[in-house]
Amino acid sequence: MSDRYVCIHGHFYQPPRENPWLEDVELQDSAYPFHDWNERITTECYQANAASRILNHENLIVDISDNYEKISFNFGPTLLSWLEAHRPETYQAIIAADHKSREHFSGHGAALAQAYNHMIMPLANARDKRTQVRWGIQDFESRFGRKPEGMWLPETAVDLATLEVLAEHDISFTLLAPRQARAVRPLGEKSWQPLSEGGIDPRRAYLCRLPSGRSITIFFYDGAASQDVAFGGLLNDGENFSRRLLDGLAGGPDAALSHIATDGESYGHHHRYGDMALAYCLKNLEKEPNVKLTIYGEYLEKHPPQWEVRIHENSSWSCAHGIERWRADCGCNSGRPGAHQKWRAPLREALNWLRDQLAAQFERQMKHWTATPWEARDAYIDVILDRSEHHVNRFLAELCERDPIEEEKVTLLRLLEMQRHALLMFTSCGWFFDEVSGIETVQIMAYAGRAIQLAEEAGGANLEAAFLEKLARVPSNFKQYRHAANIYRRHVSTTRLDLERVAAHHAISCEFEENHNPQQVYSYEAVNLNYADYHAGRVRLGIGRTRVRSRITLNQGDFAFAVLHFGDHNLSAGVRAYPDEKSFTVMQKELRDAFERSDLPEVIRLIDRHFEQHNYTLWHLFKDEQRKVLNQIMQKPLEDLNRTYQQIYDNQFALLRFLNDIGVPAPRALTAPVEMVVTDRLKKLLTAGGQDLLTLRGLINEVERLSLKLDDPTLGLAAGEKIARQMSKLAKAPANLAFLITINETIELLQQLPISIDLWQAQNTYYAICRQLCPTLRNAYDRGNTTSSEWFEQFQQLGHSLNVGMI
């Protein structure tokens, strides 16, 4: 058996981007053409690594490989929860890869756990350390169906107290950077060998003895090779990548282990096609006769530590000054010229103060129901993982040793949620970058804002004013902000919401949907108990009563509303707590009578009077619904513009063709409208069902004849989705020769367009068909079966069109 091993670890993680009040990621225009950055990075990296391409010398795909099966990896629990909800196929591929990896690695799974929400563990108090580890372990077990052997520490930030918590919870090993090792010695020897920075030999495992008498194994990854993967261009060539890992074994000890650790996003997001370099590297390593791919659990079982290590306390992999990047202006930043990070220390002080205030309230109030409030917080991960009402009720009944009444349920859940957000507000990303107004830092302040609101709603004092005083001591690099209190007021206070705001969203959005059925509004439910709708041409008046309920804390409220919609983006809405049936009936009659008299100014005055300051407009819709409504409003003006563009197209087509034929550049004022008309037609054709190849060919001829530039990135996505739909149908009836010919014709036409077609899913389907059918078809082809021969040739042509060379 080989005594030389290679292991690649990927730390897959993204800062949480969920709105703390909605519990979901809202639209992010900077990620266009994707909905948000989680969607974009999933497509570029997480999805890609589950089906990564291996190319031959002709750049044809000859294999599709699941990288996760063959490497060591961890996913942040908050990222996995998003993937489970929004990209379940990728989520399931990750879970399945861990199961499959156990076949490769002597029963050990590839996945490691992670401390729950990427908190810098040495900066956490003892309670928070324990909760982070317990939540990380239970989240892992619920997803992967087994106990974790190892745990990733965020930023590999470590101290002995953190290692004690890992060992206490039966975590066998963790990974650190080479500069985090202080001294080593062979087991049984007395003298320690001091190490220069990064001087440890990473090719073996090390035992770290802890003050409690426990111990934990530590693997120190190859720092230079890891750095070259992340920043040095090593992912430009999979063969060089594998050679570099093999070089790490040269002159090593017995059972030498060459291993690296980087952000998993290096493989496809930070470095385009990095997943393919990884796949090619892994394939090369599998061919090496005297080298075995392994993961840490398998290696540790076969080769227990023969050396022990002492670590540098309060050290990490991404700060040369230990852990100062998360509490001081140490000089580590992301490169903004002239920016300081003097804000880091006072921001942490403010959040530490808030944490302690919330902890005191939590202990005081929770003792009404349990003698062990912090054990209750540790157990709350059970609810976070399953928020079904039955499950929540059972959890609360066990916590209280009786069935709590509804009011008690709400208070308990508010207190527990308050603590969840108090943990989330220490997510490391908030300190990592250059400026306190950055999106990551605003995100952790938003968690703080949500925790403050929950504390007050649970019966505690209002902590916001005192918190703002502390934020006023947190300096910004930008004059327009001056300090973090202004940032909080501008970017956090404006997003804070309550049940009334959700009721307003529901009332307004329903007017555009013309649908007043029960609606899920992110983490809330809204049900209309009463509704009346009045019309006068394009102007509409909706009056009703709605009940809104949080699916997180179970608090609910009834609200009266009135929405006056003028038929475009202008509307006036009033929403307030439902008064009583008599008052509601009076209000409804007054508004209806004024509307039926066509006295719209009076309707507006009545809305102002009955709802006082509780007035709302389209501005108060949450981002996704707001965009949806605005697109609906813009539909008619866009249709009018399109008709105008169509006239330009019809009137100037001959001129444009003549200019193009004689090589004279056409004025942009003429080509832009034509490009918009053709783009719109192509989108409609690609998203529609059916196979209208004649119309598609005509449009493509126009694009070529007029040399049009189609710069809409959604066209490539739509084209890819159309081909993927066709391939999905083919997979159900692969012997359908006529349909196979149609797919070939479709792809041949689409590839003439000046767009980048997303063929990822179509390639996966083709690969699956190949593995299922090709051996049989090859035999038929070789025997001269005419029918099989024609099918085979068409199928082979399809492969080349998809850039797949399987046959």
Q: Which of 115, 19, 78, 21 is nearest to 452 (CA)?
A: 21
Q: Cis (ω within 30 of 0) for the bond into 754?
A: no
Look up residue 234 and give its DSSP letter.
Answer: G
Give the pLDDT confidence score for residue 775 in this predicted structure: 63
3-state secondary structure of 708: coil
3-state secondary structure of 309: strand
Q: Are 730 and 697 in contact (CB under 8 A)?
A: no
Phi-psi region of 154 (alpha: psi -120 to 50; beta: other; left: phi over 0): beta
User: Per residue in 699-744, pLDDT tens?
Assistant: 999 888 888 888 888 999 999 999 999 999 999 998 899 999 999 9
Number of neighbours of residue 241 by Cβ within 10 angstroms: 25
Q: Which residues contact 265 (CB under 8 A, 6 or more apart)?
A: 12, 13, 14, 41, 45
- Kindly state the average pLDDT of the residues 375-380: 98
Number of neighbours of residue 677 by Cβ within 10 angstroms: 22
Q: Is the pLDDT of residue 627 over 90?
A: no
Q: Which residue has the higher pLDDT, 206 or 569?
A: 206
The DSSP element (H or E) to which 304 belongs, if any, is none
3-state secondary structure of 796: helix
Q: Is the pLDDT of residue 308 over 50?
A: yes
Phi-psi region of 53 (alpha: psi -120 to 50; beta: other; left: phi over 0): beta
Q: Is the pLDDT of residue 75 over 80?
A: yes
- Kindly state the average pLDDT of the residues 263-270: 96
Helix and strand totals (H; E) in the chain: 29, 20
Q: Is the pLDDT of residue 777 over 70?
A: no
Buried-state track 5-20, b at ≥16 Cβ within 10 A, e below 16: bbbbbbbbbbbbbbbb
Give one DSSP letter per residue of 97-147, joined into a string: HHHHHHHHTTT--SEEEE-TT-B-GGGS-HHHHHHHHHHHHHHHHHHHSS-
Distances in Å between the Cα of 87 and the Cα atoms of 40, 91, 716 are: 11, 6, 20
3-state secondary structure of 653: helix
Instruction: Report residue 208: phi and psi, to 5°.
Output: -115, 115
Distances in Å between the Cα of 14 and the Cα atoms of 339, 429, 440 are: 24, 9, 11
Q: Which residues contact 60 (CB under 8 A, 6 or more apart)?
A: 799, 800, 803, 804, 805
- Kindly state the average pLDDT of the residues 659-687: 88
> At 1, which amino acid appears?
M
Pairwise CA distance, residues 110 & 102, whole Å: 7
Q: Are 217 and 205 in contact (CB under 8 A)?
A: yes
The DSSP element (H or E) to which 805 belongs, if any, is none
Q: Return mean pLDDT, the chain.
A: 93
Biggest distance spanned by C-alpha atoms of the chain: 97
Look up residue 463 and give its DSSP letter.
Answer: -
3-state secondary structure of 253: coil
The band of 486, judged by pLDDT with boundaries at 50, 70 and 90, is very high
Angle 663-664-666 (CA atoms, 0-180°, nearest 5)? Answer: 125
Strand partners, 65: 52
Q: Are 214 and 256 in contact (CB under 8 A)?
A: no
Look up residue 580 and give its DSSP letter.
Answer: -
User: Per residue in 35-65, pLDDT tens?
Assistant: 999 999 999 999 999 999 999 988 899 999 9
Give one DSSP letter per residue of 378-411, joined into a string: HHTHHHHH---HHHHHHHHHHHHTS---HHHHHH
Domains of the chain (ranges; CATH) run 4-318 (3.20.110.10), 344-495 (no CATH), 499-621 (no CATH), 636-801 (no CATH)
Q: Which residues contact 52 (CB under 8 A, 6 or more apart)?
A: 64, 65, 66, 67, 275, 276, 278, 279
Between strands 215-220 and 205-209, the pairing is: antiparallel
Q: Which residue has the higher pLDDT, 674 or 421?
A: 421
Pairwise CA distance, residues 424 & 454, whole Å: 14
> At 332, which amino acid appears?
C
Tokens for 573? 């809405």
Q: Which of 373, 441, 359, 355 is nearest to 412 (CA)?
A: 373
- Kindly state the average pLDDT of the residues 356-361: 98
Give the pLDDT confidence score for residue 674 in this predicted structure: 86
Pairwise CA distance, residues 560 & 578, whole Å: 5
Give the pLDDT confidence score for residue 272 in this predicted structure: 93
The band of 782, judged by pLDDT with boundaries at 50, 70 and 90, is low
Strand partners, 550: 524
User: Per residue in 509-519, pLDDT tens?
Assistant: 888 877 677 78
Tokens for 383? 């609810």
Give one DSSP letter per residue of 512-564, joined into a string: HHT--S-EEETTEEEEEEEEEEEEETTEEEEEEEEEEEETTT--EEEEEEEEE
The DSSP element (H or E) to which 174 belongs, if any, is strand 173-176
- Beta strands of 177-224 (E only): which ranges? 181-186, 193-194, 205-209, 215-220
Q: Are 571 and 618 in contact (CB under 8 A)?
A: yes
Tokens for 441? 């830092």
The band of 1, judged by pLDDT with boundaries at 50, 70 and 90, is very low
Number of neighbours of residue 275 by Cβ within 10 angstroms: 28
- Kindly state the average pLDDT of the residues 5-17: 95
Between strands 256-263 and 151-152, the pairing is: unpaired
Above pLDDT 90, what percent of the chain?
Answer: 79
The band of 650, judged by pLDDT with boundaries at 50, 70 and 90, is confident
Give the pLDDT confidence score for residue 655 in this predicted structure: 87
Q: Is the pLDDT of residue 778 over 80?
A: no
Q: Is the pLDDT of residue 640 over 90?
A: no
Look up residue 44 and give its DSSP letter.
Answer: I
Pairwise CA distance, residues 475 & 543, whole Å: 47
Pairwise CA distance, residues 546 & 499, whole Å: 11
Q: Is the pLDDT of residue 784 over 70?
A: no
- Kindly state the average pLDDT of the residues 494-514: 90
Q: Which residue has the higher pLDDT, 568 or 183?
A: 183
3-state secondary structure of 608: helix
User: Per residue in 575-623, pLDDT tens?
Assistant: 999 999 999 999 999 999 999 999 999 999 999 999 988 898 888 888 8
Q: Is the pLDDT of residue 764 over 60?
A: yes
